[in-house]
Amino acid sequence: MKKRILSVLLCALIAAGCVLGGCSPKDPVADREAKQSTDKYRNFYEIFVQSFSDSDGDGTGDLQGIINRLDYLNDGNPNTGDDLGIDGLWLTPIMPSKSYHKYDVENYYDIDPAFGTLDTFDNLIEGCHDRGIKVIMDLVLNHISSRNPLFTKAAFEVSDGKLDGNAQYFEIHKNDYFGDDVQTLALGGDYACEANFSLEMPEWNLNSQKTREEFTKIAKFWLDRGVDGFRLDACKYYTNKETDGKEFLGWFVKTCRGINPDVYIVGETWSDDSDIVELYGSGIDSQFAFKYATNSGTINECINTMKGNNLVTKVSNYDSKMRKENKDEINAMFLSNHDQIRIANALEPNGLDFEKFAASVYMLFPGNSFTYYGEEIGMTSPGTTGDANFRTPMVFDSENLQKISVDNLGDTFEAPKYGGVVQQQKDKNSLLNFYRRIITVKLQNPEIARGQITGIQSFDDDTVGAFYTEYDGKKIMIIHNFNKTETKSLTITDDMIAKATLAADLVGVEKEKVTFNGGKLSLPPHSSVVIRSAE
C-alpha cells in the first residue's frame, strides 16, 4: 500500500513539475482524424506548368512532370503527413500557344506539344482524382491568339468586306467605334479589332451568339474530359460597350453547371470591392480576394503593423458583403500568384516565423486557399519586374536544381534560403512541414473552410486577431497572435466556447509552445490556435 501511495505521489509531482517547468504537452493535432474533402472546399495549389517539373530534360516543365510529383502533392491518404495535402490543382494555360505564358490560345481543344498530349492530360486527371485532387484549368475567354484559325479567317473575311461570318466572334468594328484609349488591331479598310492586352490578343465578342456557342463547346470538351472547373482570366474586362459582364458571366456559369452541376469556377477580378460584388451576382463560386494578397496587400500590412483585430474585422466585413450578393460565395484567399512578386520577398527578410504566420493567417480564413507553387518552401523572385521573375523553376532539391528555362531569364535563379523540398522534408520545423500541418488542421476541422464568420472576439488587444466560424451546427474559434515578440495570456470562457479544448496549434517561432489549461491560453508570438468544444 505504501508503495502505491508513493507511486501516486510521484506521478502527481511529475505532472506538477511538467506544468511548472513547461514540459511539452501532447500534440493536439495528433489526436484528430483528417478527412478528405468531397465538396468544393479545397486547398488549391497553383502550378505554372512550364516551371514546375520537367519529365524529359528538354528544359520545359510538362504534364508528365506534374504526374511524377503527385505523391509530393497528395499521396491519397490525408493522415499520413508525408505529403503536402493539396486537394485542388489550378493549372495555368496548357493549350497550344507560341508564347511562354499561353494566355493567347491558338487551339482551345488541344494541349501545347511542349506540355504533352491529350492522353497525358487524361492520365493527369486520373492520377489526381485517384488521390482526391480536383483539377481546375485556366480558361481565357476575354481574348484569343491572333494566330487562332477562327480569327485569321475573320481577318481575311473582313479585308474582303465580309462581316457576317467569323467577324461575329470578335470585337470587330469600324475605327470610329473605339475611343482614343482603346488599343486596336487594324484589319484593313475602316475596320479594326479591340486588343487591349496585346496586338497579338484580339478580343472575343462576348455578346455574340456565335461566341457563346463556341464557348459552350469548349467548356463541354474539357468538363467531359474530367476537368472539375475553371479559373477564368480577366473577368474584369468582360464588360464593354455592348456586353454586360455580369450577365455574360452568369450565362457561362449556368452553362457549365448544365454540363456538370458540381463544377467549380473562380474568377480573376483584380479590382475594387464594387466590381467584385457585382460579379458575385452572376452566381460564380469564387473570386480572388486580391486586396488582401501581394507584398503590399492587407494581410502583409497587418502582419507588419501587428493589427490582428483590424485584419479579421476587415475580412469578416468583406465576406459578409460578398455573401449578400451570393449566399453561396466561397472566398478565395491567397498571398501571391504568377503575376506578382513572390510573397517571400517581403516576408523572408523578417524571419521564418513571418512566413509561417502569414500562411496560418490566410489559410485559416473561411473559403478556399490558393498556394502558389514554391510558396510552401519560401521561393523568392530574383527580380521585381517582368513576369518571368515570378515564375522561376520549382526547387525540389536545392543541391540539384532543375534546368528549366523561363522566357528571358534562362535557367538562372537561386534556391530558397532553407533549401528545396528534399531538404525541408528532413527538418520538422521547416516551412514545408508547417504548410503540411496547416492543411492537416483544415482537414480535421471542416468548420475552418466551410464556416461563416459569425463574430469577432477582441480580447481588448488589437494585436490579437480572433473570430468565430460556424458550420453544420458547430462553432470554433480561431485566434492569431500578431505580436512578433510578446506571448499573450488569454482567458477562454464558456460563453465563448463551451467546454473549450485546444484542437490545433500552429507556432511560428521555434521552441515556443502553446499551453491551454483551465481556460487559460498562453499564445506565443506569431502563433495561431483552433479552439472548439470537447467532443
* Average predicted confidence (pLDDT) for the chain: 94
Q: Which CATH superfamily is domain 43-144+206-444 in?
A: Glycosidases (3.20.20.80)
**Per-residue pLDDT reduced to its tens digit, 358-388:** 999 999 999 999 999 999 999 999 998 889 9
Q: Would you state the pLDDT for residue 102?
A: 96
DSSP structural state of residue 367: S
Mean pLDDT in residue range 292-318? 98
Mean pLDDT in residue range 48-69? 97
b/e burial code for range 158-184 (CB count within 10 A of at least 16 → b): beeeeeeebbebbbbbeeeebeeeeeb
| Dihedral pair phi/psi, residue 506, rounded to 5° | -135, 105
Query: Active-site residue among 268, 319, 353, 376?
Result: 268
Helix or strand or coil: residue 489? Answer: strand
d(CA 201, CA 185): 9
For residue 248, name the pLDDT band (cuts at 50, 70, 90): very high
Mean pLDDT in residue range 266-287? 96
Q: Would you state the pLDDT for residue 25?
A: 61
Burial class of 463 by CB neighbour count within 10 A (0 to 12, 13 to 18, 19+): buried
Mean pLDDT in residue range 335-339? 97
> Are the C-beta atoms of residues 441 and 504 closer than 8 Å to each other?
yes
**Full-model pTM:** 0.94
d(CA 288, CA 269): 7
**Per-residue pLDDT reduced to its tens digit, 510-531:** 999 999 999 999 999 999 999 9
d(CA 310, CA 331): 18
Burial class of 495 by CB neighbour count within 10 A (0 to 12, 13 to 18, 19+): exposed
Q: Would you state the pLDDT for residue 408?
A: 76
Q: Would you state the pLDDT for residue 251?
A: 98
Look at 255-269, 402-416, 436-450 and tell me which has the smallest mean pLDDT: 402-416
> Are the C-beta atoms of residues 373 and 44 closer than 8 Å to each other?
no
For residue 10, name the pLDDT band (cuts at 50, 70, 90): very low
Q: Would you state the pLDDT for residue 262?
A: 98
Q: Would you state the pLDDT for residue 365?
A: 98
Q: Would you state the pLDDT for residue 18?
A: 39
Quick one: what percent of the chain has pLDDT higher than 90? 90
List Cα–Cα distances, 351 to 303, 378, 487, in angstroms. 13, 11, 17
- Assess whether 56 carries a catalytic annotation: no
Domain boundaries, the chain: 43-144+206-444, 149-194
Q: Would you state the pLDDT for residue 82?
A: 87
**Which amino acid type is present at position 424?**
Q
List Cα–Cα distances, 157 to 152, 174, 175, 208, 295, in angstroms. 9, 14, 17, 17, 47
Q: Are strands 191-194 and 172-174 parallel, antiparallel or unpaired?
A: antiparallel
Roughly what angle, to the nearest 10 degrees, separates helices 352-363 and 298-305? 130
Query: Active-site residue among 46, 194, 233, 329?
Result: 233
- Assess whether 285 carries a catalytic annotation: no
For residue 9, name the pLDDT band (cuts at 50, 70, 90): very low
At a CB cut-off of 8 Å and minimum separation 6, what does 65 contact? 52, 53, 54, 55
Q: What is the DSSP string of 430-452?
A: SHHHHHHHHHHHHHH-THHHHPE
Helix or strand or coil: residue 403? Answer: coil
